[in-house]
C-alpha cells in the first residue's frame, strides 16, 4: 500500500479542517499520487525564460510545502508548462487547493485553474492519458465531491460547464 500523505498546505487558515467525505477523497488522491517521483525539471527549461521561471518556482518547495501563491493565476499558471509527471507529483497539494473553499483574498479560487487543466483538449487531455486507473478514479472522486460540495462557488465563478465537462471526461 502506498504511503498516505498526511499534511495540510500551510497557507490554509489556522484550524481549517476537512469533513470526513473530503478527507476520504484526499486519501484517495494521496494514495494514488504519493508514489510519483519528483521530476528533475517540472517544465522544459530550454523552451523559454517563462518555462525556466516556472520550473524554478515549482522546484523551490517540496510538494508538501506548496503554497497557493506558487500556483499563480490564469494568466501566470506554472501548470500550463508543467509535464504530466510534474502535475502528478504535485496532485496531492493541487487537490487540496482545488477542494478548499475560496480562502485567498488576493487570488481567485484555485478550482478554476484546475478545471482548465482537467478539461483542456477534452477527451485528448494529456493528464487523462498519462494517469493510471487509480489516479483517474481519484480525480473523478475529487470532481464528484466538488460538484456537490462546492456547487455554490462553482456557480459564483460561472464554471458549471467546465466542471460538468471534467466529470464527463474523467468518469468515462
| pLDDT score for 1 | 40
Least confident of 51-55, 79-83, 93-97, 167-171: 51-55
Euclidean distance between CA atoms 111 and 75, whole angstroms: 15
More confident residue, 9 or 49: 49
Query: Whole-angstrom distance between the N-terminal and C-terminal Cα of the chain?
Result: 26
124 against 15, higher pLDDT: 124
156 lies in a domain?
yes
For residues 51 and 6, what is the distance between their CA atoms, to the nearest angstrom?
30
Name the 3-class secondary structure at 76: strand
Instruction: Say if residues 54 and 25 touch (Cβ distance below 8 Å).
Output: no
Q: What is the mean pLDDT of the chain?
A: 87
Q: Which domain holds residue 162?
A: 20-171
Q: Which three cell numbers mark 149?
A: 460540495
3-state secondary structure of 45: coil
Q: Which of 64-73, 130-139, 146-155 is predicted least confidently? A: 64-73
- Answer whether 11's CB lies under 8 Å from 104's CB: yes
pTM (global) more than 0.85? yes
Split into its structural domains, the chain has a count of: 1
Q: What is the pLDDT of residue 78?
A: 86
The answer to the question of residue 12 being in a domain is no
**Is 100 inside any structural domain?**
yes
User: For the residues 159-166, what does the mean pLDDT come to?
Assistant: 96
Mean pLDDT of 146-158: 95
Model confidence band, residue 146 (pLDDT cutoffs 50, 70, 90): very high
Alpha helices (H) in the chain, listed in sequence order: 20-33, 49-59, 84-99, 111-119, 126-130, 133-149, 151-156, 160-171
76 — phi, psi (to 5°)? -145, 70
126, part of any domain: yes
Which carries the bigger pLDDT value, residue 112 or residue 2?
A: 112
Instruction: Tell me the percentage of the chain whose pLDDT exceeds 90.
Output: 55
Q: Of 56, 53, 155, nearest to 112 (Cα)?
A: 155
pLDDT of 7 > 70? The answer is: no
Residue 3's pLDDT band, with cuts at 50, 70 and 90, is very low
Cα–Cα distance measured from residue 94 to residue 110, given in angstroms and rounded to the nearest whole number: 9
Indicate whether 157 belongs to any domain: yes
Cell of 110: 484555485
At 12-69, the pLDDT tens digits run 666 677 889 999 999 999 999 999 999 888 787 778 887 788 778 888 888 888 888 8
Q: For residues 36 and 65, what is the distance between their CA atoms, to the nearest angstrom?
A: 16
Amino acid at each position: 500500500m502506498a504511503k498516505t500523505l498526511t499534511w495540510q498546505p500551510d497557507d490554509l487558515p489556522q484550524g481549517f479542517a476537512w469533513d470526513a467525505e473530503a478527507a476520504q477523497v484526499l486519501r484517495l488522491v494521496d494514495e494514488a499520487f504519493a508514489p510519483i517521483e519528483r521530476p528533475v525539471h517540472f517544465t522544459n527549461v530550454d523552451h523559454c525564460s517563462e518555462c525556466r521561471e516556472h520550473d524554478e518556482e515549482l522546484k523551490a518547495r517540496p510538494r508538501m510545502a506548496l503554497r497557493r501563491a506558487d500556483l499563480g493565476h490564469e494568466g501566470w499558471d506554472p501548470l500550463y508548462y508543467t509535464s504530466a509527471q510534474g502535475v502528478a507529483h504535485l496532485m496531492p497539494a493541487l487537490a487540496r487547493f482545488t477542494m478548499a473553499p475560496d480562502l485567498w483574498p488576493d487570488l481567485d479560487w484555485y478550482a478554476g485553474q484546475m478545471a482548465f487543466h482537467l478539461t483542456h483538449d477534452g477527451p485528448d487531455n494529456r493528464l487523462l492519458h498519462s494517469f493510471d486507473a487509480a489516479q483517474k478514479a481519484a480525480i473523478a472522486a475529487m470532481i464528484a465531491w466538488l460538484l456537490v460540495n462546492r456547487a455554490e462557488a462553482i456557480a459564483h465563478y460561472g464554471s458549471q460547464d467546465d466542471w460538468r465537462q471534467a466529470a464527463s471526461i474523467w468518469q468515462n
